[in-house]
Copies of this chain bind each other. A is one copy, B any other.
C-alpha cells in the first residue's frame, strides 16, 4: 500500500535527482524535508514548494478517485448486483440499463400526457440514432377532426420524413399526437423548421373556421 509517505525511499530518490540543495551537503542523503516544513516558516524554498505541491496533487487525486468510486458504489446499489462485482462488469450492466432506459423513455416519455386545452406544436430535435439516421420527436395537440391524420401524413410524405412511431390520445374532442420521426442523411436541421411551419399552417387551417384564438406555439430543442 505504501502508506508511510515521508519514509518512502522513493522520496529520497526523487530529491536527489532534482538537484536539491539546502543547508547541508549537496549530494548527501540527509533528507530534511519534514523539518524544513515545520520549523522554518519563512522562506519556502523551491524544493519545499515542490514537495507541498506534490502533496496537494496526491490528495487531489485521492479525492478524485473517491468521487468516482462513490458514484460507482451508488450504481452498485441501484443495479441488481452485490457489492463485490467488478468495476468493469458493473459498468457493462450500467450500459445495458441505460440503453434500456433510452428505449423506454423515447417511447413513453411524454406520449401519455393528456391533450391540453391549448393548441401546441413542439419539435424536439432528437439524438443520434442507431443506424445513423436522425431521430426526433414531434408533438401536435389540437382540436380533433377526421382529416387531421391524413393531412399530417401528407406533410410528412412531402418532406420525405418517415414516422417510426405514433402515439395518439384523444379525449373530449381534443387530440394529442406524438410522433417519432426518422430523417435520413440528406436532411438537416432545416427540415425541422419546414416541418414546424407545415404543422403551424395545419393548425391555422383548422382554427380559421370558427375556433377561439387559443393557439400557442412551443418550439423546443434538446
Contact = CB atoms under 8 A, between A and B. Distances in A.
Interface of A: 9, 13, 17, 64, 67-68, 71-72, 74-75, 77-80, 87-88, 91-92, 94-95, 97-102, 104-105, 108, 112-114, 116-117, 127-128, 146-147, 149-150, 152-153, 163-167, 171-172, 222
Contact of A71 (B64, B95, B146, B222): B95
The oligomer's copy count stands at 2
A113 B166 contact: yes
A112 B153 CA distance: 13
Contact of A149 (B13, B79, B114, B167): B114
Contacts of A150: 171-172
B112 A167 contact: yes
A87 B61 CA distance: 13
Question: Chain A interface secondary structure, helix, strand, loop or mixed?
Answer: helix
A114 B105 CA distance: 21
The 8 closest A-B pairs by CB, nearest first: A71-B91, A101-B101, A67-B88, A112-B166, A150-B172, A149-B171, A78-B98, A68-B88
Given A98-B97, A172-B150, A91 B112 contact: no
A165 B101 contact: no
A75 B94 contact: yes
Given A74-B95, A94-B98, A98-B98, 11 more contacts: A9-B13, A67-B88, A71-B91, A75-B94, A78-B102, A80-B127, A97-B98, A101-B101, A112-B165, A112-B166, A113-B164
Contacts of A104: 101, 104-105
5 contacts: A75-B91, A101-B101, A113-B163, A149-B171, A150-B171
B91 A97 contact: no
Contacts of A166: 112-114
A128 B82 CA distance: 12
A75 B95 contact: yes
Contact of A172 (B74, B147, B164): B147
